[in-house]
Amino acid sequence: MARVGILTGGGDCPGLNPVIRGVVRKGLLLGYEIVGIKNGWKGLVENETVPLDLESVSGILSKGGTILGTSRTNPYKKEGDAQKVKDNFKKIGLDALIAVGGEDTLGVANKLAKEGLNIVGVPKTIDNDLSATDYTFGFDTAINIAMECIDRLRTTAESHHRIMVVEVMGRHAGWIAIESGIAGGADVILIPEKPIDIEEVCEILKKKHSRGKIFSIVTVAEGAQFKEGQMVLQEQKLDAFGHVRLGGIADTLAEEIEKRTGYETRVSVLGHIQRGGTPTAFDRILGTRFGVKAIGLVKDRKFGRMVALSGTKIIDVALDEAVKALKTVDMELYETAAVFFG
């Protein structure tokens, strides 16, 4: 009997539990023993596991978050932790490991795979910024939540004749901002891929108001930058993977808009709301398909690979290909959005 581990690392997102469920259900049919690694890579550093069976995954399809817990632990950050991961891999008796995560979690998975561990990757991020896959689960839920929030903010903005600046997630890629902004009918959409020209933003808003519009919605990604190139940060402290904590762009933007236009401007930061709660049907199905495909790669001993969505097909690609570069917004999509800025 093969013993297969599964962990979920990095930020949580809707669709993780369907992946776990897919791995367990298909794995048990293949006669495998499935072991849950608790709290991402931290669980392999500290040897924290939980057995997974049919009862463990019953009823989790519609639940957000992850029943295994997660962390932003980087075993290559602290000396000796990577070796602990390898040692515990053997102690637990794993024949293979399925790592579910974004660029950081899969970056670690790629290193460990090159160092001899049998690892399969599953892409996860609400930012939809992983290369080699058309979509990641969690993204559809995030943009639907953001769209609904924009819809709700529209009514209060109209009632008070205000400009509402809505800050959504997106460190280096503006997928959430662009798609939720288009779907929510935002008047201006600002993304990390295109530096903010504050004069142009204010001019757009003035023109809209001169035509009689009494309110506007501005959607901005947290990682968007002004033309000067300086990110707006919450703090200078770095996480385990060297990322600066972002936030505050909406407040700065709103202050500048109000000062330059005279229009009353308010801010709404959606934050973790975007990745909480139940997954959409799309994310439940995609997560399930990814989980089933991942255990299939284990069966076929195709290690150092990641499952991916290509069109409507689930395929597998090299982990190297998946983590070599971030997938940023297609500027053709941005031009579609810009049609409605004028």
Q: What is the pLDDT of residues 1-26, one digit of tens each?
A: 699 999 999 889 999 999 999 999 99
- Find the range with the poorest average confidence among 32-46, 191-205, 208-222, 238-252: 238-252
CA-to-CA dists, residue 50 to 7, 69, 97, 117, 245, angstroms: 11, 11, 14, 20, 31
pLDDT of 33 over the 50 cut: yes
Domain 139-276 in this protein, CATH class: alpha beta
Contact partners, residue 296, CB within 8 Å, separation at least 6 = 26
**Predicted local distance difference test score (pLDDT) of residue 228:** 73
Does pTM top 0.75 for this prediction?
A: yes
Residue of 53, 95, 104, 127 marked active site: 127
Tell me the average pLDDT of the chain. 92
**Predicted local distance difference test score (pLDDT) of residue 200:** 93
Kindly state the tokens that stand for 22: 């897919």
pLDDT band at 239 (very low <50, low <70, confident <90, very high): low
The ranges of the chain annotated as CATH 3.40.50.450 are 3-137+279-323
Question: Highest mean pLDDT: which of 4-8, 77-81, 234-238?
Answer: 4-8
Please list the helix, strand and coil fractions of the chain in percent, rounded to the nearest 5, in that order: 40, 20, 35
**Predicted local distance difference test score (pLDDT) of residue 47:** 96
- Is residue 23 within 8 Å of 291, Cβ to Cβ? yes
**Predicted local distance difference test score (pLDDT) of residue 238:** 59
- Find the range with the poorest average confidence among 23-27, 36-40, 294-298, 317-321: 317-321
The string of pLDDT tens digits covering residues 244-256 is 556 589 999 999 9
**Predicted local distance difference test score (pLDDT) of residue 257:** 94
pLDDT average, residue stretch 124-140? 93
- Is residue 227 within 8 Å of 197, Cβ to Cβ? yes
Tell me the Ramachandran region of residue 225: left when phi exceeds 0, alpha when psi lies from -120 to 50, beta otherwise.
beta
Burial degree of 278 (CB within 10 A; 0-12, 13-18, 19+): middle
DSSP secondary structure string for all residues of 125-183: -TT--BTT-S--BTHHHHHHHHHHHHHHHHHHHHHHT-EEEEEE--SS--HHHHHHHHH
Tokens 């919605």 sit on residue: 217
Q: What CATH number does the domain located at 3-137+279-323 have?
A: 3.40.50.450
DSSP-derived pairing of the beta strands 233-238 and 244-246: antiparallel
pLDDT band at 230 (very low <50, low <70, confident <90, very high): very low
DSSP-derived pairing of the beta strands 216-221 and 163-168: parallel
Nearest to 195 by CA among 264, 249, 247: 249
The ranges of the chain annotated as CATH 3.40.50.460 are 139-276
Q: Quick one: DSSP state of residue 230?
A: P
Classified as helix, coil or strand, 69 is coil
Is 251 a residue of the active site?
A: no
